[in-house]
A and B are shown apart, each in its own frame.
Chain A
């Protein structure tokens, strides 16, 4: 599929075209001052503040996790009213058109998109998640600047990574526009609807060379990085588990769930029934391994009642148990946990400590 080029001025037109047919989300400034995924509708102002997202290095506050793994997600509904037509028959809430794309996420960073590949592994047989994977179309944008909290290269990602994306836009150095690269098979089918010819042109050779050079640079940077997953898989489990640095890391943790909820690859959940009068629903909602109640048994015993055990568990899950079981580390290096942790627990320091364990 031939790469295309689009000028900056035409981005607005593309977004208006897409938002007519699909629910389109793009990271926009909220009145709290941070950027977050918001729908594009008639009220959206396509001003310089809107577009500065594509030039700067900001990550939206939430990852794309809420689209694929929403909270709450209604799994099934039930009705105790004998007169209702679905009385006493639980109804599973699966989408009626599972193969039809209905949502477009525009402006996904490669790290967030890569989290989908990682989450696909534990959610392999989950019908709700898999339907959303089919219904949501991702248009990403590669990163030209690096934030102080970014570390995607450590985890095997890349600022120009295409994992999980359908289409990716690469900003050009001269800031005139973007090169559009088509990645997935279904992106070819939608090419004419999303990027109609009147707004795009064929990408020139010099533009393609510029992007290729950037990709080469990122590849060689990746090669020079230690392979985190391999190195951690080779560590002996009990050595890592009993390492002395966990006390220092966990000391300041306040066991809030901020890191887990903002992390694109944290996927723990709990299921509960909610009943209001005669109607009820079974919902899946986000739970956090940082909460003391997470491992509370009905007997009252709590295997991870101590704070240090919970903190240790979270990092070991991401960097030892997950790679041991599935292969890659369960982290994309987006750095949200570093930015948002109220007590500044730095996951990069934990990784360094883990690598240093004999």
Chain B
């Protein structure tokens, strides 16, 4: 879609957002959103991880390198982590990463972090709507995308 040369102003372009959701809270919350028929944009591609603490900078940058227009990482609320403290370590890691990526010139609205619990189906739908809106406003990702040179 992004390589459609006629679509110069990206009118038909839809962002692709990779969403890392922790298995116990956020993934369940997303599932609840689906069951409850809350509508949200279809642009997220979900990757289920055991805990938001497992999401390392390597994973987020790999998503950006592969061409993701946005990345969303969501975990349990602090204090509710299934593995006790995984999300607490993650919180520090994400703070540093977000600030650092903004420092080197990646638009801050491409990377988002969220706390979604298993019962927050409606909030998940609202979250994805908001994130998609913000990423769409930025246009296709160009900065850290790996491309093969034309030969």
CA distance A195 to B98 in the complex (A): 57
- B67 contacts across to A, CB distance below 8 A: 277
Residues of B within 8 A of A77 (CB): 148, 151
Interface size class of B (residues with CB under 8 A): under 10
- A93 contacts across to B, CB distance below 8 A: 151
Can you name the residue of chain B whose Cβ is closest to the Cβ of A277? B67
B151 touches A276 (CB 8 A): no
The SS class assigned to the A binding surface is: strand
**Which of chain B's residues 111-151 have a Cβ closer than 8 Å to chain A?**
146-149, 151
- Nearest A residue to B147 via CB reads A276
Tell me which residues across on chain A come within 8 A of B151, comparing CB atoms: 74, 77, 93, 281
Q: Does more than half of chain B's interface fall in helix, strand or loop, or is it mixed?
A: loop
Give the shortest distance, in Å, between A208 (CB) and chain B (any CB). 47
**In the complex, chain B residues 9-63 whose Cβ is within 8 Å of any chain A Cβ:** none
A74 (CB) vs chain B CBs: closest residue:
B151
A279 within 8 A of B: yes
Determine how close the nearest CB of chain B comes to the CB of A175; give it in whole angstroms: 44
The 0/1 profile, CB within 8 Å of B marked 1, for residues 60-81 of chain A is 0000000000000010010000
Q: How far is the CA of A276 from the CA of B148 in the complex (A)?
A: 7
CA distance A93 to B150 in the complex (A): 11
* A interface residue count range (under 10 / 10 to 19 / 20 to 34 / 35 or more): under 10
A-side contacts of B148, CB under 8 Å: 77, 274, 276, 279-281
**What 1/0 flags go to B72-110 for Cβ under 8 Å of A?**
000000000000000000000000000000000000000
In the bound complex, what is the Cα–Cα distance between A274 and B66 (angstroms)? 12
**Known A274-B148, A281-B148; further 12 A-B contacts with Cβ < 8 A:** A74-B149, A74-B151, A77-B148, A77-B151, A93-B151, A276-B146, A276-B147, A276-B148, A277-B67, A279-B148, A280-B148, A281-B151
The docked-state distance in angstroms from the alpha carbon of A276 to that of B146 is 8
Q: Please list the 10 inter-chain residue pairs (A to B) with the smallest Cβ-Cβ separation, ordered nearest first.
A: A276-B148, A77-B151, A281-B148, A74-B151, A93-B151, A279-B148, A276-B146, A276-B147, A274-B148, A281-B151
B3 smallest CB distance to A (angstroms): 9
Q: Kindly provide the distance from the CB of B146 to the nearest chain A CB, expressed in whole angstroms.
A: 6
Q: Which parts of A277-308 form the interface with B (CB within 8 Å)?
A: 277, 279-281
Closest to B145 in A: A276
Q: Which of B67, B146, B148, B151 has the most CB of A within 10 A?
A: B148
Residues of A321-346 at the interface with B, using a CB-CB cut-off of 8 Å, are none
Distance, CA A74 to CA B150, complexed state (A): 11
Residues of A within 8 Å of B146, CB to CB, are: 276
* In the bound complex, CA of A34 to CA of B12 (Å): 47
- Bound together, the chains give a CA A257 to CA B38 distance in angstroms of 55
Contact with B along A237-266 (1 / 0, CB 8 A): 000000000000000000000000000000
CA separation between A274 and B67, bound complex, in Å?
A: 15
A277: chain B residues within 8 A (beta carbon): 67
B residues near A280, Cβ cutoff 8 Å:
148
Assembled-state Cα–Cα distance A154/B147 (Å) = 45
